[in-house]
A and B are shown apart, each in its own frame.
Chain A
Amino acid sequence: MELLAQQLITGIATGGIYACMALAVVMIYQAIHHLNFAQGEMAMFSTFIAWQMLAWGVPYWLVIPLTVAISFVGGVAIERLVIRPLGDAPVLSHIVVFIGLFAILNSLAGFIWDFTIKPFPSPFGEGSQLGGLISNHQIGMIAVTMTVLVMLFAFFQYTRVGLGMRAAAENPESARLVGIRVGWMIALGWGMAAAIGSIAGILIAPIVFLEPNMMLSILLYGFAGAVLGGLTSPTGAVFGGFMVGIIENLAGTYIPVIGGELKLPIALVLIVTVLVFKPTGLFGRTVVQRV
């Protein structure tokens, strides 16, 4: 029983990482209706920028807003300079561009900052709770994720820009007719996704250590969490992220022989199973198709 409780708490702590990333995934999905494969690398790059500023001696309280701002501008710039020229090329062409972006950011980060792991200081200090099962940092990370979630919810539900962004993603033509500047809404979505990604990166780096490949697997878990919860629902994404963390830990601990070796596959199979019965995720809305 004690082990179960411990693994549950560890799962929630790890799930916090995935929830954080899943939120960033849903953000961009809301804006462009694609999964952005370069999202993890964008977050990693932002975190390196933060690390560099810290190394230059910029105080922590200034580094975070600066990084978020730089990432926002970077996200908008990527949309304007890289994605926009694609116009309405097929979805798969977009995916190739995402893969290209992924390769560029990963390779550049390795070139500039090297592949050695770097410790990243936590904004919440050292120390831990519940017998060390969850660190202060992880509690702080979950709190920040929840805060961002509430803010995002309010943004999409109650602000003009948020509503406009959703409209632009769901139905660009109609949105344009009612006077929404669809192009800029998409750019804004990229900017916000990059900004949220940078927060995720800064929160994740103290746990997994900073290095160019740190987001490789986390992005997959983030996708899994987002898809499990439903790509249209930020709440679902966060919930999904936590679920993935918990399922994975329990599978690794309690399934004999293959459990330890197949933590990730078991979690993924469960997710696909959920999707088979609920194709738009647990919290997702069903899309009506027309002939």
Chain B
Amino acid sequence: MSIDTTTAGTAGEKQAAASQTVLPAPAAATSNVKIMRAAGIALLVIGLAAPFMAGNFLIFQLTMMLIYAIAILGLNILTGINGQFSLGHGAFYAVGAYTAAILMDQFGVGYLWTLPAAGMVCFIVGFLFGLPALRLEGVYLALATFALAVVTPQLFKLSPFEHWTSGVMGIVIAKPDAPFGLPLNPDQWLYFVTLAVGLLAYVCARNLVGSRTGRALMAVRDNPIAARSMGVNTALFKSLAFGVSALYTGVAGALGAIVVQYISPDSFHFALSVALVVGLVVGGVGWLPGALFGGAFIMFVPNIAEELSKGLSGAVYGVIMILMMYAVPTGLGGLLKAALGALSKRSMNR
């Protein structure tokens, strides 16, 4: 136990160190940006090369990781940027997945076209959900969203909708082949589709954060009353944040349905929503690239836990989660910020 306390202690110190470097010197800041950019490019190169070096099974896992990352990115816009909790993003993931599956299954829509459709449907659903959620804060919002996650799978198996949703039997989806005779197998092709969507999502999210709207969203997070008095329409921006966040998660859900080739109400147990929150926190709340690490965490760590002990895999996963929170209480994003902060401080002193 004493070990844990010390790690937590050092993490705390790191945090303190990070918060001391309030405004790093411009030179140091650019060097940080350079490091980040180099890391980003390296990641991208690895991401592009991976499907040619890995087996199909690993490609599938990486694709799922990217999909979770997109979903977590959406959650990050809501929680990290706009400061609203959601324990129910699995619901938007499910809505996106069902939109895509029903469009393909019942109406023969091409799989790529289902992505924007799922995004639009989820934006509307999210925006509408955001309206009553406006009145709720903190734990109350957490409960309302959690309720949404519990309720959504039940809605999809409701008998009046069975004609479209196939009820509890779920919908089987055909796996698309690579178009234009590209020399890629379906797994590789879907990986690149997901990677492209993921990059687009990331770039859009970054631009959003940097924009006027993004600043308004953050103002609402940091001090809603002050933001309101400065003329920011907090109600609109909070609902918008819900809508945009749901859009991201819905697109991820649609991709998930295409990649897994099957959906049913059981695919969207509220454990999915919980996993997304875990991914968000592990990656770092408010740090957009953290979504990638969060996605990797919820995709791969349960497998590691299972290999350590099948009977106790849940317990092992739980222990890893808790240790993670001791080691990096603010997620990998927080750790990175602290590390970069320390780095730039050193370069300043030099």
Q: List 23 A-B contacts (CB under 8 A).
A: A85-B326, A86-B325, A87-B12, A93-B330, A95-B281, A96-B277, A96-B282, A96-B322, A97-B325, A100-B318, A100-B321, A103-B314, A103-B315, A107-B315, A108-B315, A111-B311, A111-B315, A227-B139, A227-B143, A258-B160, A262-B154, A269-B151, A272-B136
How near does chain B come to A25, taking the closest CB pair, in angstroms? 10
B318–A103 touching, CB < 8 Å: yes
**Docked complex Cα distance between A107 and B146 (Å):** 22
B-contact bits for A252-282, CB 8 A (1 contact / 0 none): 0000011001101100110111011101110
Which of these, A96, A106, A107, A231, contacts B278 with CB under 8 Å? A96
B53 contacts A by Cβ under 8 Å: no
Q: Please indicate the chain A residues that have their CB under 8 angstroms from the CB of B142 in the complex.
A: 35
Known: A262-B154, A272-B132. A104 touches B330 (CB 8 A): no
A93–B329 touching, CB < 8 Å: yes
A279–B135 touching, CB < 8 Å: yes
How near does chain B come to A245, taking the closest CB pair, in angstroms? 16
Q: Please indicate the chain B residues that have their CB under 8 angstroms from the CB of A223 in the complex.
A: 143, 146
B314–A104 touching, CB < 8 Å: yes
B150–A220 touching, CB < 8 Å: yes
B321–A92 touching, CB < 8 Å: no
**Chain B residue at smallest Cβ distance from A212:** B314
B317 contacts A by Cβ under 8 Å: yes
**Chain B residue at smallest Cβ distance from A228:** B143
A97–B322 touching, CB < 8 Å: yes
Which of these, B8, B132, B146, contacts A86 with CB under 8 Å? B8
**Docked complex Cα distance between A290 and B298 (Å):** 38
* Size bracket of the B interface: 35 or more
How near does chain A come to B289, taking the closest CB pair, in angstroms? 18
A90 contacts B by Cβ under 8 Å: yes
**Chain B residue at smallest Cβ distance from A223:** B143
**Docked complex Cα distance between A231 and B139 (Å):** 9
**Docked complex Cα distance between A79 and B311 (Å):** 26
B318–A264 touching, CB < 8 Å: no
**Docked complex Cα distance between A29 and B322 (Å):** 21
Which residues of A approach B to under 8 Å, CB–CB? 29, 34-35, 81-82, 85-87, 89-90, 92-93, 95-97, 99-104, 106-108, 110-111, 220, 223-224, 227, 231, 257-258, 261-262, 264-265, 268-269, 271-273, 275-277, 279-281, 289, 291
Which residues of B approach A to under 8 Å, CB–CB? 1, 4-5, 8, 12, 79, 85, 132, 135-137, 139-140, 142-144, 146-147, 150-151, 154-155, 157-160, 223, 225-226, 229, 274, 277-278, 280-282, 285, 311-322, 324-326, 329-331
Given A96-B325, A261-B154, A272-B147, 4 more pairs with CB closer than 8 A: A96-B324, A100-B321, A103-B317, A291-B226
Which of these, A82, A89, A271, contacts B147 with CB under 8 Å? A271
B132–A276 touching, CB < 8 Å: yes
**Docked complex Cα distance between A93 and B274 (Å):** 13
**Docked complex Cα distance between A291 and B227 (Å):** 10
Q: Please indicate the chain A residues that have their CB under 8 angstroms from the CB of B321 in the complex.
A: 96-97, 99-100, 103
**Docked complex Cα distance between A102 and B312 (Å):** 13
How near does chain B come to A36, taking the closest CB pair, in angstroms? 11
Give the most central of A29, A87, A273: most B CB within 10 Å: A87
**Docked complex Cα distance between A271 and B151 (Å):** 13
Q: Please indicate the chain A residues that have their CB under 8 angstroms from the CB of B223 in the complex.
A: 291
A93–B8 touching, CB < 8 Å: no
A264–B158 touching, CB < 8 Å: no
Q: Please indicate the chain A residues that have their CB under 8 angstroms from the CB of B143 in the complex.
A: 35, 223-224, 227
B5–A107 touching, CB < 8 Å: no
B318–A107 touching, CB < 8 Å: yes
8 closest pairs, A vs B, by CB?
A107-B314, A103-B318, A89-B329, A100-B321, A104-B318, A107-B315, A100-B318, A268-B147
Which of these, B135, B158, B311, contacts A275 with CB under 8 Å? B135
**Docked complex Cα distance between A110 and B285 (Å):** 33
Give the most central of A85, A262, A280, A281: most B CB within 10 Å: A85
A81–B1 touching, CB < 8 Å: yes
A289–B329 touching, CB < 8 Å: no
**Chain A residue at smallest Cβ distance from B315:** A107
Q: Please indicate the chain B residues that have their CB under 8 angstroms from the CB of A291 in the complex.
A: 223, 225-226, 229
B160–A90 touching, CB < 8 Å: no
B277–A92 touching, CB < 8 Å: yes
Q: Please indicate the chain B residues that have their CB under 8 angstroms from the CB of A107 in the complex.
A: 311-316, 318
**Docked complex Cα distance between A93 and B277 (Å):** 10
Q: Please indicate the chain A residues that have their CB under 8 angstroms from the CB of B151 in the complex.
A: 264-265, 268-269
Q: Please indicate the chain A residues that have their CB under 8 angstroms from the CB of B314 in the complex.
A: 103-104, 106-107, 110
Known: A89-B325, A227-B139, A268-B151. A275 touches B1 (CB 8 A): no
**Docked complex Cα distance between A279 and B135 (Å):** 6
How near does chain B come to A221, taking the closest CB pair, in angstroms? 10
**Docked complex Cα distance between A210 and B22 (Å):** 53
**Docked complex Cα distance between A273 and B277 (Å):** 25
A102–B144 touching, CB < 8 Å: no
**Chain B residue at smallest Cβ distance from A272:** B144
Q: Please indicate the chain A residues that have their CB under 8 angstroms from the CB of B154 in the complex.
A: 261-262, 264-265
How near does chain B come to A226, taking the closest CB pair, in angstroms? 9
How near does chain A come to B144, taking the closest CB pair, in angstroms? 5
Known: A103-B321, A224-B147. A265 touches B132 (CB 8 A): no
Q: Please indicate the chain B residues that have their CB under 8 angstroms from the CB of A276 in the complex.
A: 132, 135-136
Known: A90-B330, A92-B281, A108-B312. A34 touches B139 (CB 8 A): yes
Which of these, A92, A104, A280, contacts B79 with CB under 8 Å? A92
A86–B140 touching, CB < 8 Å: no
**Chain A residue at smallest Cβ distance from B6:** A85
